[in-house]
Chain A
Amino acid sequence: MILDNKLLILIVEDEDTINNFIASMLSSNDYQYVKARSGAEALAMAASEVPDLILLDMGLPDIDGSEVIQKLRSWSSVPIIVVSARGHEQEKVKALDLGADDYVTKPFGTHELLARIRTALRHSNNRPANSEEIKQLNFGQLHIDLERRLVTLAGSDVHFTPIEYKILVLLARNAGKVLTHDFIIKQVWGPYTNENQALRVNMANIRRKIEKNHAEPKYIRTEVGVGYRMVEN
Chain B
Amino acid sequence: MDEQRPNPEGLLGELTKSDEKRGKLKIFFGYAAGVGKTYAMLDEAHELLSNGVDVVAGYIEPHTRAETMHLLEGIPALPPQRINYKNIELREFDLDAALRRHPKIILVDELAHTNANGVRNRKRYQDVEELLDAGIDVYTTLNVQHLESLNNIVSDITKITVNETVPDSIFDRANKVKIVDVEPDELLLRFEEGKIYRPDRAEIAMDNFFSRDNLRLLREIAVRKAADRISHENLNVKQISEKLADAKLIACVSHSPSSAKCIRWAARMAESFYIPWAAVYVEDMDPEDLSTEQKECKRSNLELAERLGAEIVTLSGVDAATAVSEYARLSGITNIVIGKHRRRSWFKADFEERLIGLLPNAEIHVMPDSKPSKKEAGLRARWKANWREEWSANINFSLQDLLISVLLIALATSISYLLKLAAIGDQNIIMVYILSVLLISRFTKGFLYGILSSIISVFLFNFFYTVPYFTFNAIAPGYPITFVIMLAAAIITSTLTGRVKKQARLAVQREQRVKKLYDINRKLLATRGTQNIIDLINDYLARLFGSSVIFYTNPGSKDAGTVLAAAGDDPEFLMHADEKAVANWSYLNKKEAGQGTDTLSGAKAFYIPVVSQGKSLGVIGLSCTKDKLNQDSRSFLQQIVAQTALALERQVLSASQYNAKVTAEKEEMRSNLLHAISHDLRTPLTGILGASSTILENSDSIPDEEKKKLLMNIKDDSSWLIRMIENLLSITRISEDGTSLVKSSEAVEEIISEAAARIRQRFPEIKLSVHVPEEVLIAPMDPILIEQVLINLLENAIKHNSVNTEISLQVKRVQDSVEFEIRDFGSGIRADDLPHLFDGLPSKDSSPDALRGFGIGLSICKSIIDAHGGKIEALNNFDCKPAPPSGRIDESAQGALHGETRKAEVEPSAVCGATFRFSLPLRDDDFGQ
A contacts, CB < 8 Å to B: 86-87, 89, 107, 196-197, 200-201, 203-205, 207-208, 213-217, 221-225
Taking chain A's interface residues, is the majority helix, strand, or loop, or is none over half, making it mixed? mixed
Query: CB-CB < 8 A to A222: which residues of B?
Result: 750-751, 753-754
> What would be 28 A-B contacts, judged by CB atoms less than 8 Å apart?
A86-B726, A87-B726, A87-B730, A87-B733, A200-B745, A200-B747, A200-B750, A201-B747, A203-B747, A204-B750, A205-B776, A207-B749, A213-B770, A214-B749, A215-B749, A215-B752, A215-B753, A215-B756, A215-B771, A215-B772, A216-B757, A217-B753, A221-B757, A222-B754, A224-B750, A224-B783, A225-B783, A225-B784
Cβ–Cβ contact B784 & A216, under 8 A:
no
Query: CB-CB < 8 A to B747: which residues of A?
Result: 200-201, 203-204
Please, what's the 1-or-0 string for B731-759, where 1 marks a CB less than 8 Å from any CB in chain A?
A: 00100000000001111011111101100
Query: CB-CB < 8 A to B729: which residues of A?
Result: 86-87
Chain B contributes a number of interface residues (CB within 8 A of A) equal to: 28
* Interface status of B787 (Cβ within 8 A of chain A): yes
Query: CB-CB < 8 A to B722: which residues of A?
Result: 107
Q: Which among A196, A205, A214, A224 is the interface contact of B787 at CB below 8 angstroms?
A: A224
For the complex, give the distance between the alpha carbons of A107 and B776 in Å. 32
Cβ–Cβ contact A200 & B757, under 8 A:
no
Given contacts A214-B772, A224-B787, 20 further A-B contacts (CB under 8 A): A86-B784, A87-B726, A89-B784, A107-B722, A196-B744, A200-B750, A201-B778, A203-B750, A204-B747, A204-B750, A214-B749, A214-B753, A215-B752, A215-B770, A216-B757, A217-B753, A224-B750, A224-B751, A224-B754, A225-B783
Total of A-B residue pairs, C-beta within 8 Å:
66
Please, what's the 1-or-0 string for B413-443, where 1 marks a CB less than 8 Å from any CB in chain A?
A: 0000000000000000000000000000000
Measured between C-beta atoms, what is the minimum distance from B752 to chain A in Å? 6
With most chain A CB atoms within 10 A of its CB, the pick from B733, B747, B770, B887 is: B747
Query: CB-CB < 8 A to A217: which residues of B?
Result: 753
Measured between C-beta atoms, what is the minimum distance from B340 to chain A in Å? 87
* Interface status of B233 (Cβ within 8 A of chain A): no
For the complex, give the distance between the alpha carbons of A217 and B784 in Å. 19
* Interface status of B816 (Cβ within 8 A of chain A): no
Measured between C-beta atoms, what is the minimum distance from A38 to chain B in Å? 25
Query: CB-CB < 8 A to B771: which residues of A?
Result: 215
Known contacts A87-B730, A107-B722, A224-B787, A197 near B750 by CB under 8 Å: no
For the complex, give the distance between the alpha carbons of A216 and B759 in Å. 12
* Interface status of B774 (Cβ within 8 A of chain A): yes
Please, what's the 1-or-0 string for B771-783, where 1 marks a CB less than 8 Å from any CB in chain A?
A: 1101010100001
For the complex, give the distance between the alpha carbons of A197 and B747 in Å. 8
For the complex, give the distance between the alpha carbons of A54 and B809 in Å. 39
Measured between C-beta atoms, what is the minimum distance from B847 to chain A in Å? 28
For the complex, give the distance between the alpha carbons of A50 and B751 in Å. 39
For the complex, give the distance between the alpha carbons of A196 and B778 in Å. 11
For the complex, give the distance between the alpha carbons of A203 and B754 in Å. 14
Query: CB-CB < 8 A to A208: which residues of B?
Result: 774
Measured between C-beta atoms, what is the minimum distance from B227 to chain A in Å? 73
With both beta carbons as reference points, the residue of chain A lying nearest to B747 in the complex is identified as A200
For the complex, give the distance between the alpha carbons of A87 and B784 in Å. 7
With both beta carbons as reference points, the residue of chain B lying nearest to A105 in the complex is identified as B726
With both beta carbons as reference points, the residue of chain A lying nearest to B730 in the complex is identified as A87
For the complex, give the distance between the alpha carbons of A86 and B757 in Å. 16
Cβ–Cβ contact B776 & A200, under 8 A:
yes
For the complex, give the distance between the alpha carbons of A11 and B757 in Å. 29
For the complex, give the distance between the alpha carbons of A179 and B747 in Å. 17
Cβ–Cβ contact B746 & A200, under 8 A:
yes
Query: CB-CB < 8 A to A200: which residues of B?
Result: 745-747, 750, 776, 778
